[in-house]
Structure 1
Amino acid sequence: MKKSQLFAPDEPLTDAELDRLEEFLKRCKGGKAMNIEELDGFFAALIAGPDVVLPSEYLPEVFGGELSDACKFASFDEVNATLTLLMRHWNDIAHTLGNGDVYQDEKGLQRGNDWARGFMRGVGMCHDGWGALLADEDHAGCMIPVLMLYHEHDQDPSLRPQPIGREQREKIFDFMAAGLMGAYRYFRRHGKPFADVLELEPRRADPKPGRNDPCPCGSGKKYKRCCGATVQ
């Protein structure tokens, strides 16, 4: 990765960078890592939601397990590059929510189920706070669109919505974007910690850390027991 890309935390990922990130996630063993659409929903819920969740808490959800168990990096450079892509993607979604300009991009969602699944995984990490929103009769409706897509193929037939046609799905996407902004504003009115969303600063491409140095992913663990254990 070029240095100009590494030090560009505010720039959205290019299509090539999104492809690179998705290819890495596919390599995580067990097939439990998120795809990009699921990652988008997951990050959106964490950023919009009631609590600040640190990378050390949510990265295992992204990778489908602890880094040392789920992933194998080819080198420290790949560790740094992958984490930088994730940080930039987080910041892009945070800026989008902060500016209030949530909309479907030109490619749009495929069917929205993966996005909804990722979103609900993010909700699950801050269950009590989201529970307060769902208990608020004036604001709980913002969750209906995402819940429709989350339960569309539920094993329990009683939780599934009526069959969703193409035009209705497009409307659900629009309502889902509006609901996301509604949740974002709700939690800011109700005192989410830190006035602005915690943004993640990519670390400089310093020389490879020592085995006992802190891991650059921010987990708080020693490098040898975190990302260093994943380097082949």
Structure 2
Amino acid sequence: MTPPVHPDLSHWYHAFDESTLTPGALSSAECAELFELFSDAGLVRSAMSAEMADGFLTACAVGPVDVPVPAWMAAVFGQPQLPVCADTARQERLLQLLLRRYRHVQASTANPPTSADPHTLFLPLQATVDEARRVSPYRCNAQGVREGDWELKDWAEGFRRAMLGGGHWQPMLGNQDAWPLISPIVLFQSGYNPDKPELQIDQRPEMRSMLVRCIYEMRQWWRAYALAQSRPAANPAPATPRRDQPKVGRNDPCPCGSGQKYKKCCGAH
């Protein structure tokens, strides 16, 4: 018996009319719905959580390359083909909400945060931390890994996965001047700063604001980088003339064959 052929996510995306998406940020109710849909029992075990998926698609939206929608969706759901949910209606709603969130991240980070209002400002989507799993002050195990859960743990992990995939982020990762933009991602992913053990990120709400600011600055950094790469080298140094013959000294025999010194023959003109 021939196994059924499942369409891949690119078929869904190319057939979908984006003009039907409601513009703007997801409402509080829609965010709650998105998190509920990510708990669907039909999703494969390798699928990301809603919070991790938001971090992953944010990195795709502000990063150096235009990641095709089906490609980042395949990474989020842990599979490139449909169905991702057993229920067709729930699947359609999940894909639409996720795509709308992605478009909002693209649009909201395109301009400086100073020009944003509460409806256009980018903010990461995060799950509520189960207080039973929160360890505060933080504590690390023997391997130096923080125990328990904390705010934006999965979000930062999703961003990190996108950032380290494919090697496209290397110009930023290899530039020490850009490391302050990356450090908030590392901080929330690890959950603590080993250089400042007294820093409790769970008790410092300004750390979240710092993360948001760095996301905006990352988008601008990559824009400036792309612009610099597209420009030709300015005022290239002129090529040094090359001599095919050795230089003739003033007291050397003139190369014209007259038998006189160069300074009294051709060199005198």
Q: TM-score range by the shorter chain?
A: 0.5 to 0.7
Q: Which amino acid aligns with 1:47?
A: A
Unaligned runs of 5+ in 2: 1-18, 114-120, 130-150, 228-269
Cα distance change, pair 16–60 in 1 and its aligned pair in 2 (3 A): same
Which residue is 1:199 aligned to?
none
The 1-side partners of 2:126 and 2:52 are apart by 15
Which residue is 1:217 aligned to?
none
Cα distance change, pair 162–31 in 1 and its aligned pair in 2 (3 A): farther
User: RMSD value over aligned CA atoms?
Assistant: 3.3
The answer on whether the counterparts of 2:51 and 2:125 sit within 8 Å (CA) in structure 1 is no
Deviations 1:105-164 (A, max 9, x none): 8989861211101111221234x23121021122221101110111228xxxx9797364
Q: Which amino acid aligns with 2:181?
A: C
1:151 and 2:190 aligned: yes
1:13 and 2:13 aligned: no
Counterpart selection for 1:64 from 57, 71, 78: 78
Q: How does 1:120-135 map to 2 (within 5 A)?
A: 120-126=160-166, 128-135=167-174
TM-score by length of structure 2 reads 0.57
Cα distance change, pair 187–60 in 1 and its aligned pair in 2 (3 A): same
Which residue is 1:99 aligned to?
111
The answer on whether the counterparts of 1:148 and 1:160 sit within 8 Å (CA) in structure 2 is no
Identity of aligned residues (%): 20
- How big is the shift at 1:30? 4.1
The answer on whether the counterparts of 1:152 and 1:160 sit within 8 Å (CA) in structure 2 is no
Which residue is 1:47 aligned to?
61
- How big is the shift at 1:26? 1.3
The 2-side partners of 1:113 and 1:55 are apart by 24
Deviations 1:181-201 (A, max 9, x none): 221111111228xxxxxxxxx
Cα distance change, pair 84–112 in 1 and its aligned pair in 2 (3 A): same
Which residue is 2:4 aligned to?
none
Unaligned runs of 5+ in 1: 1-5, 193-232
The answer on whether the counterparts of 1:18 and 1:36 sit within 8 Å (CA) in structure 2 is no
The 2-side partners of 1:160 and 1:29 are apart by 39
SS of the equivalent of 2:87 reads coil
Aligned length: 181
Cα distance change, pair 103–84 in 1 and its aligned pair in 2 (3 A): closer
- How big is the shift at 1:90? 0.6
TM-score by length of structure 1 reads 0.65
Which residue is 1:207 aligned to?
none
Cα distance change, pair 23–172 in 1 and its aligned pair in 2 (3 A): same
Structure with the larger RCO, 1 or 2 (CA within 8 Å, 6+ apart)? 1
Which residue is 2:175 aligned to?
136
